[in-house]
Homo-oligomer: A and B are copies of this chain.
Amino acid sequence: MAKEKLSIVKIGGNIIEDEVSLKSFLDLFSNLEGKKILVHGGGKRATQVASKLGIESKMVNGRRITDAETLEVITMVYGGLVNKNIVAQLQALQVDSIGLTGADANSIYSEKRPIKDIDYGFVGDVKEVNYQSIDKLIQAGFTPVFCAITHNGKGQLLNTNADTITSQVAIGMSRLYDTTIYYCFELNGVLENINDKNSVIRLIDSTIYKNLLQDGIISDGMLPKLENCFDALKNGVKAINMGNTSMLTKENNNFTTITL
Contacts and interface: CB of A to CB of B under 8 A. Distances in A.
A104 interface: yes
A154 to B, nearest CB: 5
Contacts of A84: 75, 79-80, 101, 103-104, 149, 157
Contact of A80 (B53, B79, B91, B155): B79
A99 B104 contact: yes
A213 to B, nearest CB: 40
A87 B79 CA distance: 12
Q: For A84, A98, A154, which residue has the most chain B Cβ atoms within 10 angstroms?
A: A84
A199 interface: no
Interface string A90-120: 0110001111110111100000000000000
A52 B55 CA distance: 11
The secondary-structure label for the interface of chain A is: helix
Contacts of A155: 85, 88-89, 91-92
A76 B81 CA distance: 5
A34 interface: no
B87 A81 contact: no
A156 B88 contact: yes
Interface in A36-54: 49, 52-54
A153 B91 contact: yes
A76 B54 CA distance: 17
A197 interface: no
Given A52-B52, A78-B80, 6 more contacts: A75-B85, A84-B101, A88-B151, A88-B156, A92-B155, A98-B104
24 contacts: A53-B53, A76-B76, A76-B77, A77-B80, A79-B81, A79-B83, A80-B80, A80-B83, A80-B84, A84-B149, A87-B103, A87-B104, A88-B151, A88-B156, A89-B155, A91-B103, A91-B153, A91-B155, A92-B154, A96-B106, A96-B133, A98-B98, A98-B104, A98-B105
Ranked nearest first, the 4 interchain pairs of A and B with the lowest CB-CB distance are A80-B80, A76-B76, A92-B155, A79-B80
